[in-house]
Amino acid sequence: MRCTGLLLIPLLISHAVKALDNGLALTPIMGWLHWARFMCNVDCDADPDNCISERLFMQMADVMVKEGWRDAGYEYVCLDDCWPSRRRDASGGLQADPARFPGGIKKLADYVHSKGLKLGIYSDVGAETCAGYPGSLGHYEKDAQTFAHWGVDLLKFDGCNMRWTRLAEGYRNMSRALNATGSRMVYSCEWPLYEWDFHKPNYTAVRETCNQWRNYADVYDSWSSVKSIAEWTALHQDAVAPWAGPGGWNDPDMLVIGNFGLSHDQQESQMALWALMAAPLLMSNDLRSLCPRSKALLQNRRVIAINQDPLGRQGYRTATLGSFEVWERPLSNRVLAVAVRNKQEIGGPQKLPIVKVPGWRTCGSLCNVTQILPQYKEMGVQRQRTDLAVAVNPSGVVLLTFQPILD
């Protein structure tokens, strides 16, 4: 195998820039968000089980408690677009669609809180949301107060229908408005995504304003979509990865694991990559009918622990070796997390000797190697010149940790 490119990565570089100072998202948030699976399905007559209604969110909250999601760390139950009424109320406030949310959002928040979970809501920096529902432009204070009054714990703030030159002002004003309510709400932005078409976003400002931020296109339920998000992130890693850290994270969008578009190997690839990217873990799937393998993957404690590592450094793509790609993320206690992807989409498993992983050099003379995905496997203490190799399925991943053993 020929080495087609070996990037020496700035694993130690991170920007010591202030994060949004609300004490939240010290590790990437975890939860569930409706969009990728349920989209703007508002037809509760024809499709009562899958339409955007309070029933859907209450059912998800119930399952999150009953089936171990909350205990695994998934905490936020989040509404996306299409929840509101088309009209503001008499006092200019946002209100939920009365037919689909008869109890209103405050009652839904109380319900979600009674389960030990948190509620997320969605609005837009412009006058309308992407799906054409009322946006917050001209109402930032009022909407922030409404969300606080309802007991909302997170706001996803979209960037449709706003001139790009006004995004910075809008996102900052909403950040201030949320802060002024005195309630603590995770502030999830799409500001950089809508600016990249025009110029490189000012990440110092983004990190001071938001707890997480989308950079790139919406995830779809397909391998080509997940691949393109990984590729964009790798191509822009020097611009985006250093900004991740406690309080503020790059958001590569939702986990689509458990839906229709990814093979199991591809689901493992998404999970491993999202762990290495220190990404928010927001699933968008139907938790009421998830296949057991997808459930076990999403609840894999060891993968989640990598994602939630308290050091909070985002990983990098560190090498492209033939059809392999290597991603690495430094964790606390000098552990290195390593994802080896096989990008070849034909044939069978391919072997890569672990000495080819760039970070192996930093391992010292002895290193304890553990495979986390596809199966947990202790691979033992290895010497520098080990001939240990990992076998990776087409479009799959092997996720490992290297733990140096000090003399």
Active-site residues: which are they? 158, 218
218 binds ligand GLA (CB under 6 A): yes
Q: How many residues of this chain interact with ligand GLA, rule: CB under 6 A? A: 9
Nearest approach in angstroms of CB 199 to ligand GLA is: 19
Q: Which of 27, 31, 35, 395 binds ligand GLA (CB under 6 A)?
A: 35
Q: Binding marks (x or -) toward ligand GLA, 130..149, rule CB under 6 A?
A: xx------------------
Tell me how far apart the alpha carbons of residues 127 and 124 are, in angstroms, rounded to a whole number: 7
Nearest approach in angstroms of CB 254 to ligand GLA is: 8
* 3-state SS, one letter per residue, for the chain: CCEEEECCCCCCCCCCCCCCCCCCCCCCCEEEECHHHHCCCCCCCCCCCCCCCHHHHHHHHHHHHHCCHHHHCCCEEECCCCCECCCCCCCCCCCECCCCCCCHHHHHHHHHHHCCCEEEEEEECCCECCCCCECCCCCHHHHHHHHHHHCCCEEEEECCCCCHHHHHHHHHHHHHHHHHCCCCCEEEECHHHHHCCCCCCCHHHHHHHCCEEECCCCCCCCHHHHHHHHHHHHHCHHHHHHHCECCEEEECCCECCCCCCCCHHHHHHHHHHHHHCCCCEEECCCHHHCCHHHHHHHCCHHHHHHHCCCCCCCCEEEEEECCEEEEEEECHHHCEEEEEEECCCCCCCEEEEHHHCHHHHHHCCEEEEEEEECCCEEEEEEECCCCCEEEECCCCEEEEEEEECCC
Nearest approach in angstroms of CB 274 to ligand GLA is: 16
C-beta closer to ligand GLA: residue 82 or 335: 82
Which span sits near ligand GLA by CB under 6 A: 47-55, 95-103, 128-136, 244-252? Answer: 128-136
251 binds ligand GLA (CB under 6 A): no
C-beta closer to ligand GLA: residue 111 or 194: 194
**Which of 94, 89, 82 has its CA nearest to residue 43?**
82
What residues numbered 158-177 form the site for ligand GLA, per CB under 6 A? 158
C-beta closer to ligand GLA: residue 29 or 130: 130
Q: Please give the structure tokens belonging to residue 342.
A: 């096989």
Which span sits near ligand GLA by CB under 6 A: 18-26, 96-104, 127-135, 323-331? Answer: 127-135
C-beta closer to ligand GLA: residue 78 or 363: 78
C-beta closer to ligand GLA: residue 282 or 303: 282
What residues numbered 170-209 form the site for ligand GLA, per CB under 6 A? 190
127 binds ligand GLA (CB under 6 A): no
Nearest approach in angstroms of CB 44 to ligand GLA is: 18
Which span sits near ligand GLA by CB under 6 A: 101-109, 124-132, 277-285, 361-369? Answer: 124-132
Q: Which of 80, 195, 251, 268 binds ligand GLA (CB under 6 A)?
A: 80
Nearest approach in angstroms of CB 43 to ligand GLA is: 16
C-beta closer to ligand GLA: residue 141 or 218: 218
Q: Which residues bind ligand GLA (CB under 6 A)?
A: 35, 80-81, 129-131, 158, 190, 218
